[in-house]
Chain A
Amino acid sequence: MLVNLDPKDGRPLYLQIMDEVRRAVVLGTLRAEDPLPSVRELAAELAVNPRTVSQAYQELERESVIYVRRGQGTFVSPTVRRGAVERRSLAAAVAKRALLDARRNGLSAEELVMTIQKLAAREDV
Chain B
Amino acid sequence: MSGVPETFAVATHGLSMRYGRETALADVDLRVPEGSVYVLIGANGAGKSTAMKVLLNLERPDAGRAEVFGLDTGAHGPEVRAQVGYIPESHEPDYPWMTCGRLLRHVAAHYPAWDHAYAAQLVDVFGVRLDRKIGTLSKGETRRLQFVLALAHRPPLLLLDEPTDGLDPLMRNRTLAQLAEHLADSPTTVMIATHHVAEVESLADHVGVLREGRLVAEMTRDDLRRTVLRYRVEVPEGWQPPPELRIAGLRRSPGGREVQGTLVGEESDVTARFTAAGAAVRDVTPLTLEEAALALLAEEGTP
Whether, in the assembled complex, A12 has its beta carbon less than 8 Å from a beta carbon of chain B, the answer is yes
Given contacts A49-B37, A49-B204, contact A43 B283 (CB under 8 A): no
- Scan B151-189; emit 1 where CB is below 8 A from any A CB, else 0: 000000000000000000000010011111101110000
User: Which residues of B in the span 34-89 have a Cβ within 8 Å of any Cβ on A?
Assistant: 35, 37
When chains A and B are docked, how far (Å) is the Cα of A43 from the Cα of B188?
15
CB distance from B10 to the nearest CB of A (A): 18
> How far, in whole Å, are A103 and B284 apart by their CA atoms in the complex?
10
* Distance between Cα atoms of A96 and B180 in the complex (Å): 31
Given contacts A8-B288, A106-B282, contact A49 B183 (CB under 8 A): yes
A63 to B46, CA, bound (A): 45
Contact among A5, A11, A13, A44 for B181, CB-based, below 8 A: A44
B287 / chain A contacts, CB cutoff of 8 Å: 10
Chain A contacts for B37, CB-based, 8 A: 49
Report how far A45 CA is from B184 CA in the complex, Å. 12
List residues of A (43-100) whose CB comes within 8 Å of B's CBs.
43-52
- Size bracket, chain B contacts: 20 to 34
User: Taking the complex as formed, is B203 at the interface, i.e. its CB lies under 8 A from any CB of chain A?
Assistant: yes
Q: Are A44 and B202 in contact (CB under 8 A)?
A: no
Complex-state Cα separation, A122 to B225, whole angstroms:
39
Residue of B nearest to A13 (CB): B202
Please give me the residue from chain B that is nearest to A46 by CB atom.
B202
Min CB distance A90 to B, Å, is 21
Given known pairs A5-B202, A40-B185, A106-B282, the reply for A46 and B180 (CB within 8 Å) is: yes
A50-B202 in contact (CB<8A): no
Q: By the criterion CB–CB under 8 Å, are A40 and B176 in contact?
A: no
Is the pair B203, A47 in contact by a Cβ cutoff of 8 Å?
Answer: yes
CA distance A48 to B37 in the complex (A): 11
Minimum CB–CB distance from B141 to chain A (whole Å) comes to 22
Is B222's CB within 8 Å of the partner chain A? yes
Of all chain A residues, which has the CB nearest B202? A48
Any A CB within 8 A of the CB of B138: no
The yes or no answer to B140 lying at the interface (CB within 8 A) is no
- Beyond known contacts A7-B198, A49-B204, A51-B205: 6 more, CB 8 A cutoff: A10-B225, A43-B180, A44-B177, A44-B178, A47-B176, A49-B202
- B residues sitting closer than 8 Å to A (CB atoms) are 35, 37, 173, 176-181, 183-185, 198, 201-205, 222, 225, 232, 282-283, 285-289
28 interchain pairs (CB within 8 A)?
A7-B202, A7-B288, A7-B289, A10-B287, A11-B286, A12-B222, A40-B181, A40-B185, A43-B180, A43-B181, A44-B180, A44-B181, A44-B184, A45-B177, A46-B180, A46-B202, A47-B173, A47-B176, A47-B177, A47-B180, A48-B202, A49-B202, A49-B204, A49-B205, A50-B180, A52-B202, A52-B205, A104-B232
